[in-house]
Amino acid sequence: MQDTSGGKAIGAPLLGEPRLLGDMLDTSVRRFGSRNVLDFMGRTLTYAELGESVDRAARGLQDLGVAKGTRVALCLPNTPYYPILFFAILKAGGIVVNVNPLYVERELAHLLEDSGATIIATCDIAEIHARVLKVAGQMGVKHVITCPIAGALPTLKSIAYRIFKRAEIGHAPRDARHCTFDSLLKAKGAPTPVSVSPNEVAVLQYTGGTTGEPKAAMLSHANLVSNADAMMVFVGGEQPHQDRVLGALPLFHVFALTTVLTYSIRAGAEMILMPRFELGQLLKTIDRTKPSYFPAVPTIYAAITTAAETQKIDLSSIHACISGGAPLPAEVRTAFEAATGAKLVEGYGLSEASPIITCNPIDGVNKPGSAGLPFPGTTIEIRDREDPTRLLPIGENGEICARGPQITQGYWHKPAATAALFADGALRTGDVGHLDEDGYLFIVDRIKDLILAGGYNVYPRVIEEALYEHPAVLEAVVIGVPDKYRGQAPKAFVVLAEGAVATPLELRDFLRDKISKIELPREVEIRDTLPKTLIGKLSKKELVAEEAAKAAASEARGVNA
> 475 pLDDT exceeds 60?
yes
What is the structure's pLDDT at 327?
Answer: 81
Q: Of 442, 428, 358, 359, which Cα lies nearest the Cα of 400?
A: 428
Cis peptide before 355 (omega within 30 of 0): yes
- Of 200-204, 302-306, 394-398, 556-560, least confident by mean pLDDT is 556-560
CA distance 100 to 42: 25
CA distance 95 to 73: 8
What is the Rg, in whole angstroms, of the alpha carbon atoms belonging to the chain? 24
Q: Of 407, 321, 302, which Cα lies nearest the Cα of 359?
A: 321
Percent of the chain clearing pLDDT 90 (strictly above): 76
Per residue in 339-390, pLDDT tens?
899 999 999 999 999 999 999 999 889 998 899 999 989 999 999 988 999 9
**Structural domains for the chain:** 1-7+221-411+425-448 (3.40.50.12780), 20-197 (3.40.50.980), 450-560 (3.30.300.30)
User: pTM, whole model, 2 decimals?
Assistant: 0.86
Higher pLDDT, 447 or 95: 95
Give the Å distances, CA to CA, from 373 to 133, 220, 341, 376, 439. 45, 23, 23, 9, 6
User: What's the whole-number average pLDDT of the chain?
Assistant: 91
What is the structure's pLDDT at 2?
Answer: 40
> 209 pLDDT exceeds 60?
no
Three-class SS state of 231: helix
Percent of the chain clearing pLDDT 70 (strictly above): 94
Mean pLDDT of 504-520: 93
Three-class SS state of 165: coil
Per residue in 404-431, pLDDT tens?
999 999 999 999 999 999 999 999 999 9
CA 118 to chain centroid, in Å, comes to 25
Per residue in 50-71, pLDDT tens?
999 999 999 999 999 999 999 9
> 5 pLDDT exceeds 90?
no
Phi–psi pair at 172, nearest 5 degrees: -95, 155
Q: Of 137, 134, 118, which Cα lies nearest the Cα of 126?
A: 134
Per residue in 242-254, pLDDT tens?
789 999 999 999 9
